[in-house]
Chain A
Amino acid sequence: MKRPFNTLPQFPVALPPSGRSRIALGLTAAAALGRFELQVCRDCGAVQYPPRESCHRCLSPTLDWTAQSGSGELISETTLFHSNEPFFRRRLPCRLGLVRLDCGANAVTFINDDVNSLPARVRVSSYLDWAGSVMRSWSGRDYRSRRTRPKALRSFAV
């Protein structure tokens, strides 16, 4: 059954995986404000992702959530046809990829439909889903107009 985008989901409803570590909620907090932030080490300047408690380069515990451009290169991609979570089963197939961010970190993200062949320049941003926040890669053109909610986003975002 296809339901309008803005109506509440019918129950029982499967939710996306909601487990996140305490430290990773920093990404969600920024996404709630429409920002894409990653941890930056105050001592050595290293940018890191996934989030963790200390700097991956110098082990400093002083890390600041800092706005990032999200630009990077999509270096590998897959189209997922099987999921272990009921939430995703109605939403397959979906595209995932590994993005080498220009800041040096790797990000596994959803890939928006407008991203073409590999290797591709992309912009990564984060947004809230039903259970936390997730990251998605866009081509440069679509990234600028992302507030128009591209069609592909509807299946995953609130």
Chain B
Amino acid sequence: MALRRAARAVQTGDAQVIACVAADTNQIDSFRATLGNFSQFSRDAVYPYGAGGPNASFALLTSYYMRTFGARREDFGKLCVAQRDNALRFPHALFKKSLTLQEYLDARPIATPLGLYDCVMPCAGAEGFLVMTRRRAVELGLAHANILGTIEAHNSFRADPIQIRGGWALDRDELFAQAGVRHDAIDFVQTYDDYPVISVMQFEDLGFCGKGEGPDFVRSNTFTCSGTFPTNTSGGQLSVGQAGAAGGFLGITESVRQLTDSTLGTTAVTDARVGLVSGFGMINYDRGLCCGAAILSRSAP
């Protein structure tokens, strides 16, 4: 979303170079204080109910999704395990230990059906990138990726009784039309992954599979850097950690690294030319308010 707005400002000439920086600190009790004051709705109507924070909100979404579309814990576990495999290749990831599906399934329950490894870990950290015209990047001799298309939506599908889809579903055709590519041209995807169910919704709503086909899609791909449908190639927020708003930038910085041959560790996806990065956020009551996505490509040599 920041990327999209910065690009618009550069495109219209309002700015020449925009630095997008997101960061957060993490002190004792700071996460609790954030949760208790997250939004008026959450303070009035969610937090007093056990103070589970986003774990509880996503548990309700995950539980509904599993009951409606037949997803199993193993499906979400597969994503978490694949991302941990990716994180082991990425030096900045906070999780350094491998994770097996059995360990995922045996983890202590947090808010059923979510266990420990379904929940993103708050941390301190920062992500940042620069947005400028392609010509300026070339003149400055900077390694860069091109923005092929972006979408952004707010308060979508608000008549749905519970969130089973996001605004990506409204605008995905527009996104791919802007980019001039088809789904099979996408070499990697960086989803917003604070909980695995929302990654599965992104696969569906961005058109990589149909609504409700997410579980089968997960079963038929590996999601690792060297496997099929590489996803969250740095380990994603689930294995790197979520540094406040910087969590939403994680996929962008990793995409830029992939497309400029500057990956850290061994996360490089072979012949990555086009990548899709997706964002989601702000569960102010019972569902996420906003979502966005961008398609980025390698700069022509």
- Chain B residue at minimum C-beta to C-beta distance from A56: B158
B45 / chain A contacts, CB cutoff of 8 Å: 24, 49-51, 107-108
B56 lies within 8 A of A80 (CB): yes
Query: Chain A CB within 10 Å — which of B44, B55, B67 has the most?
Result: B44
B158 to chain A, nearest CB (A): 9
B40 / chain A contacts, CB cutoff of 8 Å: 21, 24, 50, 52
Give residues in A with beta carbon < 8 Å to B: 16-17, 19-21, 24, 49-52, 75-85, 87-88, 92-94, 96-98, 100, 106-110, 118, 129, 131-132, 134-135
How far does the alpha carbon of A53 sit from the alpha carbon of B253 in the complex, in Å?
Answer: 39
A129 / chain B contacts, CB cutoff of 8 Å: 48
Summarize B's interface: helix, strand, loop or mixed.
Answer: mixed
A108 lies within 8 A of B110 (CB): no
Chain B: interface size category? 35 or more
- Chain B residue at minimum C-beta to C-beta distance from A136: B49
CB contact under 8 A between A20 and B46, given known A78-B56, A81-B112, A118-B67: no
A79 lies within 8 A of B44 (CB): no
Binds A, one of B29-37, B77-85, B264-272: B29-37
CB contact under 8 A between A131 and B44, given known A78-B63, A79-B109, A96-B56: no
Q: Select one of A16, A80, A131, A134 contacting B52, CB under 8 A.
A: A80
Q: Select one of A19, A24, A81, A118 contacting B36, CB under 8 A.
A: A19
B43 / chain A contacts, CB cutoff of 8 Å: 17, 19-21
Residue pairs across A and B with CB atoms within 8 Å: the count is 122
B48 / chain A contacts, CB cutoff of 8 Å: 16-17, 20, 129, 131-132, 134
A142 to chain B, nearest CB (A): 19
CB contact under 8 A between A79 and B60, given known A17-B47, A21-B40, A49-B45: no
B60 lies within 8 A of A78 (CB): yes
B113 / chain A contacts, CB cutoff of 8 Å: 78
Is B285 located at the chain interface by the 8 A CB criterion?
yes
Q: Select one of B50, B63, B67 contacting A94, CB under 8 A.
A: B50
How far does the alpha carbon of A16 sit from the alpha carbon of B49 in the complex, in Å?
Answer: 9
A76 lies within 8 A of B162 (CB): yes
CB contact under 8 A between A84 and B60, given known A51-B44, A106-B286, A107-B45: no
A109 lies within 8 A of B49 (CB): yes
